[in-house]
Amino acid sequence: MTATVVPESRVAIASASRTSLRGFLRRPLAVTAIAVLLLIVVGSAGAGLLAPYDPFAQELLNATQPPSAAHLLGTDTLGRDVLSRLLWGGQPALAAAAVASATFGLLGIAMGLLAGYSRGAVDRLISLVIDILMSLPGLVLMFAVLAVFRNNLFAAMTALGLLSSGGLARVVRASTKSTREELYVKAAQVSGLSSGRIMLRHVLPRLTGPIIVQISLFVGIALVVQAGLGFLNLGVQAPAPTWGGMVAEAAQVITQFPWLLVPSGGIVAVTVVACGLIGDAVRDVNAETKSRSGGIRARRRRSRAVPGGVDESSPLISVKGLTISFATSGGAREVVHGIDFDVAGGEFVALVGESGSGKTITALSLLGLLPDNAIVDAERVRIAGRDFTGQPSASFRPLRGSVIGLVSQEPQVALDPAFTVGAQLREVIRAQGGLKGRAIRSRALELLAAVRLPDPEEIERRFPHQLSGGIAQRVVIAIALAGNPDLLIADEPTTALDVTVQSEILDLLLQLREEFGMAILLVTHDLGVVADCCERALVMEHGLIVERSDVVSLFARPEHPYTQSLIAATPRLLDSEPTAIDGEATA
């Protein structure tokens, strides 16, 4: 029997929907706009049942009649019922707007996401396409399409959506570039999720507000354009009813029978205004939402093939001559200067230094997660038996999650606020492969229990904002363990926590190291943490490793003046003031 798997995002979607619904219900104009738009859509779609008369039936004796019980909106110059023609005329208008809006949305979102997330050459190429689309004369090309395709309205509206998609793509691109830098996106990258999955699951949901606003405004534009084409008798041909065609007929007799312009022009205006009001409401609701917001044995580690000719006893991480620079308008600025270091399997190593010493970017370079303007050079970079010397950042992707895991210093930011804990953990487990169906949830609960969470089933149903800092950090650690990594990079994992919780997290890391048999690279400025947990320390200053030693020797006999200053500056329960360190950070 095949188990039915409930999509893990269902709870998140339901919660977001409830929040949005409450926001809309507090806005009478938005509720009215939605009601009016639904009435128009339902009336047009059900014209065959709702229209009281045949839209083509003429009664010349009853021409240009004012509204009455027999004809609620009167009759036109040929005696045809205006209400019936409005209902039938809404079908091509709304269908054309839907085609244009779908083209506009799909192309704009796709181009914007790819350009903003991929950046580099892909960004430049897509930006060039966007500039070309926005520079073309849209109406002229629409008339050309109508001429080529013999008044095919839907071909013309597809062209309108294509030519207009550049504007949406620019909005999506700008928002994607900003969202891409969020820590929870970095965490998803480190967990081994593919770029496509990250864009669709973690980036796109954060852009729904701006996207809906842009699409709702474009629907209004598309309706006006369609009405304009109908006014010129392009696309759907007379005597078939169209809103634009009815406006054209009313304009011919506006001085004699001005009433005819009211229903035909009014329905276009009301529909466009309703779309605009919905867009405004979505923008406001989106802005409001953003402003609130026992031991289990470790799984047997799966063996990994070691490339031929590689000594299995060699260090897990071996780096020599690592130099990191950042391209700026004034030229390249070097911040890490030719450092060497190794991390053996199962070892607990500290990379310690003050803020700006270069320790975090050194650690992130092992994952290929440096900014696009980073320039990385090295004589040797070997990770888990593979040579990554001179390789682009994309080549590090297979390592993320499965070989190297990352625990960040801000757990609340590292978790996607749109999804529950369970949804995020199951997503990472699924991305690593090997498990399906209920086994994925069982593994998720196992990991939550492994990080000593008292009620895994309750925790997995919670959203990040419902977690305390300590619980959130344990969840982040569980996600980092989902791929059974050989190395766990812990970047200031206790900085955002209070003292009691700091101790608990450090004890947990020590226990997990023994249970999972992994190495830990601890990035920290806290020498007290180094003394409690680590076996060996690498001291960084101004992008250089100035001292390396086992922890006992480091504290007993520090050799470099900078290390001596760091130890002297560490607060103690003494009457004297801590010693200040001279100089300033350069990285």
Secondary structure string (H, E, C) spanning 313-331: CCCCEEEEEEEEEEEECCE
Residue 81 tokens read as 């019922």
Of 391, 7, 364, the residue nearest 189 (C-alpha): 364
Q: How far apart are CA 188 and CA 527, in angstroms?
A: 30
98 pLDDT more than 90: yes
291 pLDDT more than 60: no
What percent of the chain is predicted at pLDDT more than 70?
A: 88
pTM of the model: 0.63
For residue 329, the tally of other CB atoms under 10 A from its CB is 4
260 pLDDT more than 50: yes
Q: Between the CA of residue 38 and those of 281, 375, 394, 553, 555, what are the distances in Å? A: 16, 55, 47, 75, 73
Q: How far apart are CA 5 and CA 393, in angstroms?
A: 35
Query: Could you tell me the pLDDT band of residue 581, with boundaries at 50, 70 and 90?
Result: low
Contact 487, 301 (CB under 8 A): no
Query: Could you tell me the pLDDT band of residue 296, with boundaries at 50, 70 and 90?
Result: very low
Overall average pLDDT of the 56-60 stretch: 86
Q: Is 519 helix (H, G, I), strand (E, B) or coil?
A: strand
Q: What stretches of 366-406 show up as alpha helix (H) in DSSP?
A: none
* Angle, in degrees to the nearest 10, between helices 261-292 and 28-45: 130
Q: What local confidence, expressed as pLDDT, does residue 168 receive?
A: 92
- What structural domains does the chain harbor? 13-291 (1.10.3720.10), 317-569 (3.40.50.300)
C-alpha angle with apex 290: 287 to 293, nearest 5 degrees? 145
256 pLDDT more than 50: yes
Overall average pLDDT of the 311-319 stretch: 75
What residues contact 173, with CB distance under 8 A and at least 6 apart? 111, 112, 113, 115, 116, 123, 126, 127, 130
